[in-house]
Amino acid sequence: MRIILLGPPGSGKGTQAQLLVQRYGIVQLSTGEMLRAAVAAGTPVGLKAKEIMASGSLVPDDVVVGIISDRIDQPDAKNGFILDGFPRTVPQAEALDELLKHKHLKLDAVIELRVNESALLSRVETRVAQMRERGEEVRVDDTPEVLTKRLASYRSQTEPLIHYYSERRKLSTIDGMMAIDEVTRAIHRQLLALGAVEPKTHARSAAKAAPAKKAKAGKKSAKKAVKTAKKAAKSAKTTKKTAKKAVKGTKKAAKKTAKKTVKKTAKKTVKKGSKKGPKKVTKKRAKR
């Protein structure tokens, strides 16, 4: 399964991506995370991206497209991936279409998390507080000033993607203001409706245990099939019995009717003073 999560900063893309990773056993490809790692490692890409990211602007398209293309080729992405924070511009979306086509891969869905802008600042503030609590380093771009800039760049450069994917019939919009697990359920329902996931996809443990589960399910369905077959055989037997009984009953009834008719006719014949004896008539009629 290959999906894109689309939404402004603070819409819950990262949180949902992690939950979907656990549920479906696929990988999360977050360009923001990859760029932060590159900055921390001081790679050439990191050095290029550092200042741009700190200011809340977007890193050049060719840089992120290159990162994503390489990442998709990694073995752990073969099972599927969730793109979080990519694409962020129409040229990036076009480049993604091209590279997926080149790699013979299909995009299953684009999930847009729609949220009230007024909630975004407080969400990012909560994220910062939680990161501090966990003793994690707080992102340099998680400040009210930079967030305003990131939101502006989302509106002008990323929002056009809603139209882009809607035109291509890939877009599904989910209310991102719901509770976290409700959003996850809504995404799951949407993926089910699109046929991107199988009906019984639960937690990661379930994904890991899939072969065992499948075998169990296979055994179960085999048992069921045997039961059904036995039932069918039983009912066939019953039908046979019923049919036999019915035939017997019909035969009996026929015999009775024949006897009655014979008796009646014999009586009549006797009354009329026929030459033929009643016994002869009885035999003839009974034969009929």
Q: Is 13 a catalytic residue?
A: yes
Examine residue 85 and tell whether it contacts ligand AMP (CB under 6 A).
yes
Helix, coil or strand: residue 6: strand
168 marked among binding-site residues = no
Give the C-alpha separation, 2 to 228, whole Å: 39
Q: Stretches 85-93, 118-126, 206-214, 258-266: which one binds ligand AMP (CB under 6 A)?
A: 85-93
Q: Are 8 and 116 in contact (CB under 8 A)?
A: no
Cβ-Cβ contacts under 8 Å for 48 (sequence gap 6 or more): 59, 60, 63
Q: Is 59 in contact with 46 (CB distance < 8 Å)? A: no
Binding string, residues 175-214; x marks residues near ligand AMP by CB under 6 A: ----------------------------------------
- Examine residue 7 and tell whether it contacts ligand AMP (CB under 6 A): no
The residues near 69 (Cβ < 8 Å, ≥ 6 apart) are 99
Catalytic residue among 2, 13, 23, 123: 13
Name the 3-class secondary structure at 42.
coil
Q: Is 88 a catalytic residue?
A: yes
**Strands of the 27-30 sheet, one edge to the other:** 27-30, 81-84, 2-6, 109-114, 171-175
81 is in an annotated binding site: no
Interhelix angle 61-72/44-55, nearest 10 degrees: 120
Provide the token pair at 60.
């050049």
Residue of the chain from 25, 32, 80, 176 that contacts ligand AMP (CB under 6 A): 32
Nearer to ligand AMP, 140 or 258 (CB): 140
Residue of 23, 50, 123, 127 marked catalytic? 127
- Using CB under 6 A as the binding rule, the residues of this chain from 127 to 146 that contact ligand AMP are 141
In the list 16, 28, 31, 184, the residue contacting ligand AMP (rule: CB under 6 A) is: 31
Q: Which stretch binds ligand AMP (CB under 6 A): 31-39, 185-193, 195-203, 249-257?
A: 31-39
By CB under 6 A, residue 64 contacts ligand AMP: yes
- The SS3 call for residue 103 is coil
Which of 48, 114, 139, 213 is catalytic? The answer is 139
Number of residues that bind ligand AMP (CB under 6 A): 17
131 is in an annotated binding site: no
Q: Which stretch binds ligand AMP (CB under 6 A): 49-57, 74-82, 97-105, 220-228?
A: 49-57
Query: For the chain, how long is the longest CA-to-CA vector?
Result: 130
Is residue 168 part of the annotated active site? The answer reads no
Comparing CB distances to ligand AMP, the nearer of 24 and 86 is 86
Task: Say if residues 113 and 158 touch (Cβ distance below 8 Å).
Answer: no
Asked if 39 contacts 46 with a C-beta cutoff of 8 angstroms, the reply is yes
- For the bound state, the minimum distance from the C-beta of residue 192 to ligand AMP, rounded and expressed in Å, comes to 27
Between CA 194 and CA 45 the distance in angstroms is: 36
Six token digits for residue 20: 């979907």
Phi first, then psi, for residue 93 (nearest 5°) are: -65, -40
Q: Binding residue per annotation — 195?
A: no
Q: Which residues are annotated as a binding site for ATP?
A: 10-15, 134, 178
Residues that bind ligand AMP (CB under 6 A): 9, 31-32, 35, 52-53, 56-59, 64, 85-86, 88, 92, 141, 150
Question: Would you please indicate which residues are annotated as catalytic (active-site) residues?
Answer: 13, 88, 127, 139, 150
